[in-house]
Chain A
């Protein structure tokens, strides 16, 4: 079983739409969680950390449900520039495991 599982998408949405991505992880002892964004042929860049209490950064909201081992990312008012692959990342004992990524295409 993979450490981190994500729906690969693609999610094709119009500008202004709200879109949500989900991710599950297999190790209940995982310590920290992140969402990264990766543009085509570029390195991943940290979008936000994910906390149990939930956290928001502008149009982006991340949630963590430890009981269900589930992480989510909500993007409101999608922009064309949000088009990218979103990677769910889980830290287990100082090792970082990446999901396969969810591709988002925001269309005009």
Chain B
């Protein structure tokens, strides 16, 4: 149990285009989803926290108009990178926690990540 999927697993796009990444909890209700970014040889940096049905809370330094987060249901959150630039190239990982995961509420489950390359 407690499986989180992400789609796509990798994407290459041109500078200036927008990319949408989906994060799904497959067998539990994700009341909270987190979006992280990881640059090579660095740790995960929290970008935003998303609670189902409400606006995401962004970390300092993360542009909410550039990284659009939607958490419209208990099993799906999306991150849209708008007007992508080469410096947005990174590994984007979502995680989820919630009801029915069979684990402690504090435990979060990670998706496999999406590798974004902007040319």
Contacts and interface: CB of A to CB of B under 8 A. Distances in A.
B43 A43 contact: no
Interface string B26-62: 0000001010100000111110010000000000000
Interface in A24-44: 31-32, 34, 41-44
B44 A44 contact: yes
Contact of A46 (B36, B44, B107): B107
B108 A96 contact: yes
B67 interface: no
Contacts of A69: none
B49 A95 contact: yes
A94 interface: yes
A97 B46 contact: yes
Contacts, number: 41
Nearest to B57: A95
Interface residues of B, number: 21
Interface string B86-119: 0000010101000000001011101111010000
B46 A95 contact: yes
Nearest to A45: B110
A46 B96 CA distance: 13
A42 B113 contact: yes
Interface in A41-96: 41-46, 49, 87, 91, 94-96
A43 B106 contact: no
A94 B49 contact: yes
A101 B107 contact: no
B47 to A, nearest CB: 11
B42 A100 contact: yes
Given A32-B106, A49-B104, A91-B106, A101 B43 contact: yes
Given A49-B104, A96-B108, A100-B42, A43 B113 contact: yes
Given A44-B44, A101-B43, A96 B34 contact: yes
Interface of B: 32, 34, 36, 42-46, 49, 91, 93, 95, 104, 106-108, 110-113, 115
